[in-house]
Chain A
Amino acid sequence: MRPLTEEETKAVFEKLYKFIGKNIKNLIDRPNEPYCFRLHKNRVYYVKEKLMKKATNVARDKLVALGTSIGKLTHTGKFRLTVGALDVISQYAKFKIWVKPSSEMQFLYGNNVLKSGLARITENTPTYTGVVIYNMADIPLGFGVTAKSTNECRSLDPNAVVAFHQADCGEFLRAEDEL
C-alpha cells in the first residue's frame, strides 16, 4: 500500500472530474472524517485515514483490500473507474439519468441505455460526459458516458443509445473475481 504519485493522482482526479466536476475537492477535504487515496496491487482505494493507519499493520502480501476500491491503474498508468466508485460518485453526481423499470434489468446485465429505456435526464447534459444512472426509486444502478446531449435525446429513435455502460451493480455478481 502506498499513496499515489502525482501523475497517478492526476489521472484519478481527471476521471472523477468527468463525473463530479468541481466536487473532487470535497473528496479530499471532507469536514468531519478525512479520507485519502491509497494504491495497493494496482487498485486505488478510497479509505478513511484512521482505517488506513490501522491497515499499515498488515503485511503487504497479506493485505487484500481496504476502504472502497474506486478503480484500477493499468500498467501504463491509465486509470479505470470500477463499480466500487458508484457510492462516491452518486453522492456528488452532476448529471443523472433515470431509467424506466422495464429496461432496468437490461442495464444491470451490462447493456447500454437506449432511448426506449430513458425516463428522465438532467438538463444541459453535454455529450460524452460522465453520468450516473438511477432507477425510478432513486437508487444508483451504475454509471456511464452520455452518447447524446439532452437536446439531441429528444429527437432520437427508440433504439438509439443514450448512454454507454461503464459499470453497474450487477457486476458484483457477474464479475466478482475482478473486483
Chain B
Amino acid sequence: MGGRLAKLPPPVTQLPRALPVPKAKPLTRWQQFAAKKGIVKRKRSKLLYDETTGEWRRRHGYKRANDDNDIPIIEAKATDKPGEDPFAALAAEKRERVKTNRAAQLANLKQAAKKAGPGVLPASLRLAATLPGEGGKVGKGVGKSLRRKELKDDIKTASRLAGISTASIGKFDKRLTGEKPGERAPLGKRRNFMPVTDTKAERSKAGSIAEKLLKERSDDILDIRKAMTRMESQAREERHQAKRKREEESDGRGGAKKGRKAGGGGGRGGKKGGKGSAGKAGSKGAKGFKGAAGKAGKAGKGRR
C-alpha cells in the first residue's frame, strides 16, 4: 500500500451561541479581599489523614476524616462548667458557622443584585418574590398585592369555566347574587353572517364597499372634468402671480410711496406682501392670491 495517508481530526460542528454572552458578575467580598491581598485559590486534596483512626479518609462525605459525630470522649477542661454538654456545644458551633456562611452568601447576592441588577442572581432566585430569608423585592417577582390580583384572576377564570361547562354552555343557568351579567359568558366572538336571501341589504353593503374602494383609488381613475378644472385654476394662478410680480418690480423702481390696492403699499410693504403671497400661493392654490392680496393691503396700511 503506497501513498500517504492523512489522518484528519474528527469532525466538529461549530454551533453558534443560542443565548447572548453572560455579563460578568461583581466580585464577592471574599473575592475582592483575595484579589487585594493576592491570595491564590489552592485546590484541596480529596483525602485527609485522620488522627483518631490513623488512616486516610475523604475530606467530606461518608466516613469523613475528623467527623464531629465520631468523637467518643471529650475530656473536660478546667474552664468547663458542670452541666454543660460539650457535644451539644460542638453541634451549636457548627450550626452557627453554617448560619453565618448562609448569611454571607445572601449578603453577597444582595450586593451583586444591587450593583448589576437581577440578572446576576442564579436562575432559581430570579423569579422569587424575595430572597430566601429576606423580605423586600430584589428579584423580578411580584409583590404581595400583585400576587393577590393574579390569584383573584385565576379564581375568576376557574369559576367562569365551571359556569360554562354545562350542556347549554351556561346559557340558561340562574345568575348568582353578586355576579355581573358578562362574567359567565364564553369568551370569543361568534361570527354573524348576513341572512342568505336578504339581497337588498347585501346589495347596498356591497355597493358601499365598492364605493369606498373606488374612492381610495380615485387618483387612478381619470375624471376629465376634475382634471381640466384643476389645470385651468393652476394656469390662472400662475398668470396672476406673474402679473403681480411685474407690478411690484415697477413699483419698487419708481420708489412711490403711494399705496396700491392690489399691489401692496410702499417698497417695504410691497416686498413683505410679495413674500407672503408667494408662500400662500404655494400652499393654497386658487385661493392663495385673494388672501395674500388682502394681507398685503393690510400690511401696507399698517406701515402708514
Contacts and interface: CB of A to CB of B under 8 A. Distances in A.
A21 B221 contact: yes
Contact of A56 (B191, B196, B214): B196
Q: Is the interface of B mostly helix, strand, loop or mixed?
A: helix
Contacts of A2: 193-194, 196
Identify which of B193, B203, B209 gathers the most chain A CB atoms within 10 Å of its CB.
B209
A92 interface: no
A17 B213 contact: yes
Nearest to B202: A3
A24 B199 contact: no
Nearest to A129: B220
Interface in A1-33: 1-3, 5-6, 9-10, 13-14, 17, 21-22, 24-25, 28-29
B207 interface: yes
Interface in B192-211: 193-197, 199, 202-203, 205-207, 209-211
B202 A36 contact: yes
A3 B196 contact: yes
A9 B220 CA distance: 21
A143 B134 CA distance: 75
Contacts of A98: none
A77 B117 CA distance: 47
B197 A5 contact: no
A49 B203 CA distance: 11
Contacts of B213: 10, 13-14, 17, 24
Contacts of A38: 196
Indicate the size class of the contact surface on chain A.
20 to 34
A62 interface: no
B203 A10 contact: no
Given A6-B205, A49-B199, 20 more contacts: A2-B193, A3-B194, A3-B195, A3-B202, A5-B191, A5-B193, A6-B209, A10-B209, A13-B210, A14-B213, A17-B214, A17-B217, A25-B210, A25-B214, A28-B210, A29-B207, A36-B206, A38-B196, A52-B197, A53-B197
Interface of A: 1-3, 5-6, 9-10, 13-14, 17, 21-22, 24-25, 28-29, 34, 36-38, 49, 52-53, 56
28 contacts: A2-B194, A3-B194, A3-B202, A6-B209, A9-B209, A10-B209, A10-B213, A13-B209, A14-B213, A17-B217, A21-B220, A21-B221, A22-B214, A24-B210, A24-B214, A25-B214, A28-B203, A28-B207, A28-B210, A29-B207, A36-B199, A36-B202, A36-B203, A37-B206, A49-B199, A52-B196, A53-B197, A56-B197
